[in-house]
């Protein structure tokens, strides 16, 4: 952009200040707690190096599998016009909705050595130990492929199909069109999804906590080092190790994306939806059915757990788990919903603004801003949690109140921890919107803020909605970071749920988990309804003006 | 629209506003803690904000908040964990006639913490498994890849086991034993109670856990497990309570006096805990009481050497 006006500059400074305060400062607090000696101690300790390798291998495999599944699903749902797409789509949002450790429990019930599949299908022969790589691979892929789906759906929606139409009318087969046109256009989304899932897998500890067994991963080791040995320096050193692969992936991502960016939304001509061929329809159905079946299998297990007397042992039908769970946990439900609802729009908007500042302005330091924003997601939740305690346990000159112990700290943590997802999907969305559109508006006299409001925002609505939805569900289901900043008054459903799982209240935990899923699905349903009714554009106006 | 922003601002302020109440961190599990705390609120008319954190998490939090504590009381974790907090100066000393009802052997001489219950380590065995009777038997090859126990560095249970072994066998022999036992370990768990679920679901053959947990989370729930008491030394814990230094809430003292009182101590047997008040009702079905062949326990020594012992264990085992 030729000229940067003062409003955009002011946004940039605002974004820089909040990101510094709520991401860099807490991280600095943690990383300031370690030193080189600790770091090298860890590098030479076998029980830290092996988990590092394990984490990277697991993250890479889960990222590949999750992205592949997510891509096929997104393509099927958004492009192939298969029947029942909405149904598959809804089913596939379920994994993002439930706390991962319930899936881990379901995995044990299915694939454990006494599990249903092993006992009744495989005749008691364990194909793999659920407490190890395969258990983690399955549960994490199932937990994180929806991330790929969300990101790639945004990409697919933002992709106008005039190019595909052109390719087809020039005689390319559907397959050629897919490989030569659709796939390259989806590269930014695919890369984003790989990056996000890799990092999610690295930072995940809900699943490894229950399933890691002999296959130890770094996030759990960092967590244990912090929570169990009270060794903040050691844990900080471990998280630097954990951060390194994430950073590497991030750099690769930038390199690949910057080479392959293709813009498809321009001011010219209308676009059509591509029709799908028989082959891709069959593939679409196949993938949708297989994934849906897995989701139904795992989450069906949780549902079974919720209505049986003792999950895994006593299968007699009871309904009392719901009553018990809600009697004990209704106030956690209210708190979680309130905080998740408050954080979602702010998170989505912030992510979008930062994406715009990063992609569309030439302000020096914008990559640093993007990098800092992504840090909150790349660092394991535990480290953020401890960082928030260290940073906000007392008032500062720049923040004259104590956040610790209030709902504010939880809200801030959710906003900054979840914002990178909105940022990523807005970034890949923006990469596809041709600059000439904005330049046209500028040349007609619109200010950069007006351009953002009237042109970028409406075009990025899918990305914004993805970001906000994602942030809502993460706020409802996240635990690794938030477990440190909850208090007696401001406690959350997920923390309550983990307590239940750890204490053997398996059926009550399952019931509470089911309620959690239902609440989130209900909220998502209402949101979708509102978005359709209210019109996307007026929603943007309402929030923005 | 300004309405939306206004609504957000209102939500924000409702977050910030909070009434003063006694703040308790508990390492007991939520359901049990809730019952004691509700009884306390009702009997003493004090409002309580509480949170459940494992002992390790609670200590990490006390350390992180040491310059500006947000909690008043730490309730329900092994006394050894309280020793660590005491040595770092996180605990306030408190003694009163009510607290003196607890035998002196089960209190900190400086009054930093007070014992409230006794808990013993036992073996649990699943269906079709020959229940082990002693630590030596656990090394038998029939338990290969069958035993589950919590990490000594993540769970009070795990450390109580390790500490008991080292105390009764001597540090070197105890570490050797741990290394031999490691050959039979199926997996180590983060939380102390997790082995009960593993054994209960048939995912492992034998677990090493606290008896009160085994009964409450296991047998009383319907998990098919058998409890046996090790013949050659029963590691045990004293569960404690303490006031956290800093906020000086008078209700913290009210809570301390109440939790050692007979009405409070009599709530414990329902949770299969052995209360320490001499006249309190003991739990039925508990096999390992203080009459069992207890392993030696020196809370102050173990608390002071905790890191060292764990470090040695980790080097020996590599986990």
Tell which wins on pLDDT, B199 or B191.
B199
The domain over range B2-118+237-288 is classified in CATH as 3.40.720.10: no
Minimal-distance CA residue of chain B relative to A221 = B319
Best of B27, B63, B190 to disrupt the A interface by mutation (most A CBs within 10 Å)? B190
- Residue B111's SS3 state is coil
> Which among B153, B197, B237 has a CA at the least distance from the CA of A509?
B197
**Mean pLDDT value of segment A334-358:** 89
Query: Nearest-5° angle of CA B23, CA A102, CA A493?
Result: 30
Inter-chain residue contact A502 with B191, CB threshold 8 Å: yes
Task: Give the distance from residue B223's alpha carbon to the nearest chain A alpha carbon, in angstroms.
Answer: 7
**Greater confidence, A404 or A144?**
A144
B314 touches chain A (CB under 8 A): yes
Query: According to the model, what pLDDT value does residue A534 have?
Result: 53
What does residue B237 show for φ and ψ, rounded to 5 degrees?
-125, 155
Instruction: Say yes or no to pLDDT of A230 above 70.
Output: no
Alpha-carbon gap, residue A85 to A20, rounded angstroms: 42
Q: Which residues of A touch B63 (CB under 8 A)?
A: 230, 232
pLDDT for A399: 78
For residue A230, list chain B residues with Cβ-Cβ distance below 8 A. 56, 59-60, 63, 84
Strands B226-228 and B206-210, how do they pair? unpaired
Mean pLDDT check: name the lowest of A324-328, B60-64, B162-166, B196-200. Answer: B60-64
> Any CB–CB contact under 8 A between B51 and chain A?
yes
CA dihedral A473, A477, A481, A483 (to 10 degrees): 140
The confidence score (pLDDT) of residue A231 equals: 72
Per-domain residue ranges of chain B:
2-118+237-288, 119-235+302-317
B29 or B136, which is more confident? B136
CA nearest A343: which of A252, A418, A271? A418
B151-167 per-residue burial string, b: 16 or more CB within 10 A, e: under 16: bbbbbbbbbbbbbbbbb
Copy the structure tokens of residue A470.
């994602």
Q: To 10 degrees, what angle do helices B156-169 and B171-182 make?
A: 130
Q: DSSP per residue over A337-381, as a string? A: HHHHHHHHHHHHHHHHHHHHHHHH---TTHHHHHHHHHHHHHS-H
Contact A408, A346 (CB under 8 A): no
- Extract the tokens encoding A59: 């993250």
- Average pLDDT in chain A: 80
Query: Do β-strands B73-78 and B22-26 pair in parallel, antiparallel, or remain unpaired?
Result: parallel
pTM here is 0.77
* A296 alpha-carbon distance from chain centroid: 21
CB pair distance less than 8 Å for B1 and A408: no
Q: Which residues contact B208 (CB under 8 A, 6 or more apart)?
A: B121, B122, B123, B124, B147, B148, B149, B157, B161, B195
Contacts of A523 (CB under 8 A, 6+ apart): A337, A340, A341, A472
At B235 the three-state DSSP class reads: coil
Locate A236 and state its tokens: 């900080």
Q: Once rounded to an integer, what is the mean pLDDT over residues B97-120?
A: 93
Cα–Cα nearest to A291, from A517, A64, A73, A521 = A73
Tokens of A327: 């009697």
How far is CA B119 from each of CA A65, A513, B82, B111, B177, rounded to the nearest angstrom? 46, 31, 16, 21, 23
Contact yes or no for A342 and B218 at CB 8 A: no
Closest to B318 (Cβ–Cβ): which among A47, A228, A309?
A47
Cβ distance of A312 and B193 shorter than 8 Å: no
The residue of chain B nearest to residue A395, with distances taken between CA atoms, is B68
All residues of chain A having their beta carbon less than 8 Å from the beta carbon of residue B8 are 342, 346
Q: Which tokens hold the place of B110?
A: 């400086």
Name the token pair of A407. 């709902």
> Hey, what are A79's tokens?
């492009």
Q: Do residue B11 and residue A338 have CB atoms under 8 angstroms apart?
A: yes
Residue B108 exposure: Cα atoms within 13 Å on the Cβ side? 28
* DSSP type of residue B234: B
Distance, in Å, from the CA atom of A153 to the CA atom of A77, rounded to the nearest integer, reads 8
Banded model confidence at residue B306, pLDDT cuts 50, 70, 90: confident
In DSSP notation, A166-200 reads HHHHTT--HHHHIIIIIHHHHHHHHHHHHHHHHHH
Task: For residue A452, give how far its alpha carbon lies from the nearest alpha carbon of chain B (Å).
Answer: 17
Give the three-state DSSP class for A317.
strand
Q: Structure tokens of A69?
A: 């599944």
Q: Which residues of B touch A393 (CB under 8 A)?
A: 64-65, 67-68, 70
- Choose the most confident range, by mean pLDDT, from A223-232, A272-281, B28-37: B28-37
B124 contacts in A (CB within 8 Å)?
none
Task: Give percent of chain B above pLDDT 70.
Answer: 94
Q: Residue A468 and residue A528: Cα distance in Å, rounded?
A: 12
Q: Indicate the range of A65-69, A480-484, B112-116, B227-231 predicted with least confidence.
A: A480-484
Question: Of chain B residues 172-201, which have a CB less than 8 A from chain A?
Answer: 186-187, 190-191, 193-194, 196-197, 200-201
Digit-coded pLDDT (tens) for B121-169: 999 999 889 999 999 999 999 999 999 999 888 778 898 999 999 999 9
Reported as half-sphere exposure (CB side, CA atoms, 13 A), residue A120 has a value of 5
Of A230, A328, A490, the CB nearest to B60: A230
Return the pLDDT at B180.
Answer: 95
Measured in degrees and rounded to the nearest 5, phi and psi for residue B182 equal -55, -30
pLDDT at residue A173, as a whole number: 81
Which position has the token pair 């964990």? B81
Residues of A in contact with B223 (CB under 8 A): 310, 313, 504
pLDDT of residue A452: 80
Pairing of strands B114-125, B206-210: antiparallel
HSE-CB at B276 with a 13 A cutoff on CA atoms is: 23
Strands B91-92 vs B236-244: parallel, antiparallel or unpaired: antiparallel
Tokens coding A253: 């991502």
Tokens linked to A301: 């297990």
pLDDT confidence of residue A57: 94
Please give the pLDDT value at position A457: 80
Q: Hey, are the CB atoms on B12 and A495 less than 8 Å from each other?
A: no
Distance CA B52, CA B27 (A): 6
Q: What is the per-residue pLDDT for A544?
A: 40
* Residues of chain B contacting residue A499, judged by C-beta atoms under 8 Å apart: 29-30, 52
Q: Residue B146: closest CA among chain A residues belongs to which residue?
A: A113
Looking at residue A541, its pLDDT comes to 45
B18 vs A131, A401, A489: nearest CB: A489
B119-235+302-317 has the same fold as B2-118+237-288:
yes
Please name which of A104, A49, A333, A457 lies closest in space to residue A218, comparing C-alpha atoms.
A49
The whole-number pLDDT of residue A488 equals 62
pLDDT at A2 over 60: no
**pLDDT of A262 higher than 60:** no
* Residue B194: CB atoms within 10 Å: 28
- From residue A519, how far is each of A299, A472, A482, A512 by CA, in Å? 15, 11, 20, 10
Topology adopted by domain B119-235+302-317: D-Maltodextrin-Binding Protein; domain 2 (3.40.190)
What SS3 state is found at A109? Answer: helix
Six token digits for residue B189: 């768990």
**Mind telling me how many Å the CA of A35 is from chain B's nearest CA?**
18
Nearest CA distance, B65 vs chain A (angstrom) = 6
Q: For residue B243, what are the β-bridge partners?
A: B73, B92
| A224 contacts B187? CB cut-off 8 A | no
Using an 8 Å Cβ cutoff, are B206 and B132 in contact?
A: yes
> Is the pLDDT confidence value at B3 over 90?
no
Cβ count within 10 A of residue A68: 17
Which residues of chain B make contact with A220, given a CB cutoff of 8 A? 190
Q: Quote ipTM for the complex.
A: 0.71
- Nearest CB to B50; choose among A488, A503, A505: A488
Closest listed residue to residue A325, CA positions, set A513, A492, A483: A513
Higher confidence at residue B42 or residue A42? Answer: B42
| Residue of chain A whose alpha carbon sits nearest to that of B1 | A542
Confirm if A310 and B223 have CB atoms less than 8 A apart: yes
Stretch A151-175: mean pLDDT: 79
Write the pLDDT tens digit of every residue in A169-179: 888 887 888 78
Given a cut of 80, whether residue B273 has pLDDT beyond it is yes
Residue B160 is encoded by which pair of tokens?
Answer: 């109580």
CB contact under 8 A, A224 and B68: no
pLDDT band at B24 (very low <50, low <70, confident <90, very high): very high
Query: In this predicted structure, what is the pLDDT of residue A538?
Result: 46
Nearest to B20 by CA among B40, B62, B49: B49
Chains A and B: how many Cβ contacts under 8 Å?
A: 159
Looking at the complex, does the CB of residue B29 fall below 8 Å from at least one CB of chain A? yes
Do B30 and A394 count as a contact with CB atoms less than 8 A apart?
no
Q: Considering only alpha carbons, which residue of chain B is nearest residue A216? A: B319
Contacts of B43 (CB under 8 A, 6+ apart): B258, B263
Collapsing DSSP to helix, strand or coil, A500 comes out as helix
Chain B contact set for A489 (CB, 8 A): 18, 21, 49
What one-character DSSP code corresponds to residue B283?
A: P
In terms of Cα–Cα distance, which of B103, B109, B62, B100 is closest to B81? B62
Q: Report DSSP letters for A22-35, one per residue.
A: IIIHHHHHHHTT--
Residue with tokens 């950069």: A448
């Amino acid at each position: 952009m030729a000229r940067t006006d003062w409003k955009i500059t002011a946004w940039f400074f605002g974004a820089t200040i909040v990101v510094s305060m709520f991401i860099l400062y807490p991280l600095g607090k943690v990383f300031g707690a370690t030193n080189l000696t600790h770091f090298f101690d860890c590098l030479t300790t076998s029980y830290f190096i092996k988990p590092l390798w394990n984490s990277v291998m697991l993250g890479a495999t889960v990222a590949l599998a999750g992205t592949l599944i997510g891509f096929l699903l997104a393509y099927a749902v958004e492009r192939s016009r298969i029947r029942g797409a909405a149904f598959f789509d809804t089913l596939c949002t379920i994994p993002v909705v439930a706390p991962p450790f319930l899936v881990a429990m379901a995995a044990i019930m299915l694939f454990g050595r006494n599990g249903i599949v092993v006992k009744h299908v495989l005749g008691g022969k364990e194909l793999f130990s659920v407490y190890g790589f395969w258990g983690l691979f399955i549960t994490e892929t199932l937990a994180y492929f929806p991330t790929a789906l969300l990101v790639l759906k945004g990409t697919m929606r933002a992709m106008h199909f005039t190019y595909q139409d052109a390719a087809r009318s020039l005689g390319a087969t559907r397959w050629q069109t897919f490989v030569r046109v659709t796939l390259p256009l989806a590269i930014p989304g695919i890369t984003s999804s790989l990056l996000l899932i890799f990092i999610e897998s690295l930072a995940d500890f809900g699943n490894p906590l229950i399933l890691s067994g002999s296959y130890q991963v770094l996030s759990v080791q960092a967590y244990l080092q912090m929570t169990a040995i009270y060794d903040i320096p050691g844990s900080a050193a471990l998280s630097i190790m954990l951060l390194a692969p994430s950073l590497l992936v991030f750099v690769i991502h930038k390199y690949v994306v910057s080479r392959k960016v293709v813009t498809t939304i321009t001011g010219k001509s209308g676009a059509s939806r591509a029709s799908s061929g028989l082959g891709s329809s069959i593939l679409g159905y196949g993938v949708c059915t297989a994934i849906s079946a897995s989701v139904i299998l795992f989450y069906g297990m949780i549902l079974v757990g919720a209505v049986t007397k003792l999950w895994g042992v006593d299968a007699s039908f009871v309904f009392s788990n719901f009553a018990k769970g809600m009697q004990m946990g209704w106030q956690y439900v209210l708190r979680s919903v309130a905080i998740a609802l408050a954080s979602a729009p702010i998170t989505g908007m912030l992510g979008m603004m930062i994406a715009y500042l990063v992609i569309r302005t030439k302000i020096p330091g914008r990559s640093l801003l993007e990098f800092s924003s992504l840090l909150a997601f790349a660092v394991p939740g535990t480290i953020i949690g401890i960082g928030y305690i260290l940073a906000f346990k007392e008032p500062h000159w720049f923040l004259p109140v104590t956040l610790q112990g209030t709902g504010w700290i939880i809200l801030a943590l959710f906003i900054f921890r979840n914002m990178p997802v909105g940022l990523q999907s807005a970034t890949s969305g923006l990469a596809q919107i041709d600059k000439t559109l904005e330049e046209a508006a500028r040349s007609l006299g619109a200010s950069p803020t007006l351009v953002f409001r009237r042109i970028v925002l409406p075009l990025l609505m899918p990305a914004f909605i993805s970001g906000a939805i994602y942030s809502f569900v993460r706020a409802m289901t996240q635990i690794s970071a938030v477990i440190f900043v909850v208090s007696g008054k401001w406690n959350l459903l997920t923390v309550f749920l983990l307590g239940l799982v750890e204490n053997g209240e398996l059926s009550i935990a399952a019931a509470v988990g089911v309620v959690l899923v239902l609440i989130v699905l209900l909220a998502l349903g209402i949101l979708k309804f509102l978005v359709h009714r209210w019109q996307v554009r007026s929603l943007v106006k309402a929030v923005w003006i | 629209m300004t309405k939306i922003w206004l609504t957000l601002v209102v939500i924000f302020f409702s977050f910030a506003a909070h009434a003063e109440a006694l703040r308790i961190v508990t390492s007991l599990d939520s359901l049990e803690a809730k019952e004691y705390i509700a009884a306390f609120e009702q009997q003493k008319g004090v409002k309580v904000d509480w949170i459940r954190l494992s002992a390790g998490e609670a200590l990490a939090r006390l350390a992180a908040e040491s310059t500006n504590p947000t909690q008043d009381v730490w309730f329900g974790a092994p006394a050894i964990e309280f020793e660590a907090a005491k040595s770092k100066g996180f605990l306030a000393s408190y003694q009163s006639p009510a607290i003196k009802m607890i035998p002196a052997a089960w209190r900190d001489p400086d009054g930093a913490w007070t014992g409230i219950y006794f808990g013993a380590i036992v073996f649990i065995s699943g269906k079709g498994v020959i229940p082990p009777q002693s630590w030596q038997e656990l090394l038998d090859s029939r338990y290969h890849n069958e035993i589950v126990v919590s990490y000594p560095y993540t769970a009070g249970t795990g450390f109580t086991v390790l500490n008991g072994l080292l105390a009764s066998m001597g540090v070197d022999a105890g570490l050797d034993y741990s290394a031999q036992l490691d050959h039979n370990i199926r997996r180590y768990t983060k939380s102390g109670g997790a082995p009960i679920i593993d054994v209960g679901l048939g995912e492992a053959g034998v677990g090493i856990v606290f008896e009160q947990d085994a009964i409450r989370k296991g047998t009383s729930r319907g998990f098919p497990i058998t409890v046996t008491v090790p013949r050659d030394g029963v590691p045990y814990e004293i569960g404690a309570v303490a006031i956290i230094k800093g906020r000086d809430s008078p209700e913290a003292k009210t809570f301390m006096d109440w939790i050692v009182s007979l009405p409070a101590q009599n709530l414990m047997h329902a949770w299969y805990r052995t209360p320490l008040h001499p006249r309190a009702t003991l739990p039925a079905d508990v096999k390992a009481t203080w009459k069992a062949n207890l392993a030696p326990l020196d809370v102050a020594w173990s608390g002071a050497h905790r890191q060292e012992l764990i470090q040695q264990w980790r080097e020996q085992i590599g986990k």
